[in-house]
Structure 1
Amino acid sequence: MSEEYRVLEGAEPFYFEGGNVGILVSHGFTGSTQSMRPLGEAYAKAGYTVCGPRLKGHGTHYEEMEAATYQDWVDSVEEGFRWLKERCDSVYVTGLSMGGTLTLYMAEKHPEIKGIIPINAAVDIPDMAAVQNLDGIRFLDAIGSDIKKEGVSELAYEKTPVKSIRELVKLMEKVKSNLASIECPALIFVSEEDHVVPTHNSQTILESITSADKQLVTMKESYHVATLDNDQQNIIDGTLKFIAKVEKKAEL
């Protein structure tokens, strides 16, 4: 990696070795692992093995992100999944925003995943679909730090590459068209007010996946980056309860 693209402090991938149940934790578009680290640390404290990969082109500089494709982001998550599978009997996947999109992608591709917890996941953002066709414009304003809680900010890029938006739109279309193939248990978190991903996305996911065990939880005190917002503990508690329930059912 060139000097120009050093990983920002706080944006490093994280790995916690724990028990034989693993949790793959994915951050979102233009963001970094900083948005998911509190969750990762809480799950590790609860005894789980946790992997929080840094998606390629993220956590460095937006010009490096511009050169990454959605397949690069998929590959980053796949690498984390392989790390967990080497150590764990069962793996769960959770993610924020595009991390939620990648969570759905993984469930579509890997039916052995035991359960998923998408958080404000994106499968259809009309505004992004519109701006992907902009000609001659390379970067747009930042989309990070949509947080209700005062004094909290997300470690995210100050600009958004239009090329990266095109890649995200491709990923969303691919994932949305395949949602019916998801059959594993799903706990879906959605913020009541979100200024990045329209809330209808989570309803679409709920209605489209064919899981027998699926639930939508509405968060009233957080905006888009709910993992750093007022509902952070609710996400942690709900996720731990969900995994314990699924694991117990698997033992019966």
Structure 2
Amino acid sequence: MRPIPVDDPTDPRLAPYTAMRERDLVGREGRFIVEGEVTLRVMLSEGARFRAESVLLAPERMEGLAELLADRPEGVPVYVAAKAVMSAVAGFPIHRGVLAVGLRGAEPSLALPPAPAPGLVVGLVGLTNHDNVGGLFRNAAAFGADGVLMDAATCDPLYRKAIRVSAGAALTVPFARLPDGAALLAFADAHGLVPLALSPAGRETLTDLTPPRRALLLLGTEGPGLPRELMARARTIRIAMAPGFDSLNVATAGALALHHLAAGRLG
């Protein structure tokens, strides 16, 4: 299928891309936006969990992506528009010249290998920063976690910026959303996962912890951290730091903890 040129920002075929910045936070009728070459390549790869509906490119990006687009799934149109047109559609200046619309499909669930096989899941509680959520999905992919669970308050990992920060991992790492922290603990109990709550107030030091064979790593928002009632029902761990300092960005702290917990699974 040849690329389809579009020179009118009001063309109805570009409607899913309209006013991206304003509409990203509230969803797009089962759609989401992917931005940039790295995430487009992930979206069109065999490992992606979501299907592309269309691609929108600036003309100068066509040559470098020609081979990728030639192998795209049947029925995925590629629209080509000047950056000025793309910017008018999106509602802000487009610099990368690469956009795509993905289809969410049914609300995903998280399937784990049954015990006694090893298992490692990341649990996010109250994380409302898209950079942190994207970073944690990237960490989960890098250290071979089986998936990510989120409570209702955690932001959407398919928000455009979260996907970009995750380097596309939000499109490949299995995830599911549960109502609250108690539901995450119930999931851990049902699947034989040891709940590990990461907090500066943790009773055990991460480096002294023998990684459980199956674990749920719980991470809370920066500042308030994990709810006290959730920590009371979990094994609490902390990362040792220099005297007088006990704070790390949650994505950084999560990376350190995941590396330690996954050490026996990494090549």
- TM-score, normalising length from structure 1? 0.30
Larger Rg: 2
